[in-house]
Amino acid sequence: MKQYMLAVHGEEGGAYESDEEMQEAFKAVEELNAEMQAKGVWVFGGGLNPPSTATVVKDQAGDITMTDGPYLEAKEHLGGFWVINAEDLDAALAWASKATVACKGAVEVRPFQDEPEG
């Protein structure tokens, strides 16, 4: 099995038009989490606080600096993610299809790098 990250992206300020829509998405995500766990694909998942809560830590010529985030200035940011085990990309994309419906946001699928043999 290969591990994939399903990254949920959303617009700054929130993607939900109402609190009711947000609560519906939270419930749908909880149901999807339970399904992933029951099927044995779940490794880890979680939602993130807004980009304004980020701190950027950077090595600059041996000096560690810390600044308020986010690191990238953008309209869209990572809002949460799942790490799953999947047989292949097609299986990961099937889970991402369920995830985009549940969370009402775009979901990017990326495989983890293979572990070096040694």
Tell me whether strands 76-86 and 106-111 are parallel, antiparallel or unpaired: unpaired
pLDDT at 109 over 90: yes
How many residues belong to the chain? 118
Region of poorest pLDDT, from 11-15, 68-72, 76-80: 11-15
Residue 15: what pLDDT? Answer: 66
Residue 75: what pLDDT? Answer: 86
What token pair was written down for 5?
């990250």
Superfamily of domain 2-111: Dimeric alpha+beta barrel (3.30.70.1060)
pLDDT at 12 over 80: no
Residue 14: what pLDDT? Answer: 65
Mean pLDDT calculated for residue range 33-40: 98
Dist CA 81 CA 6 (whole Å): 5
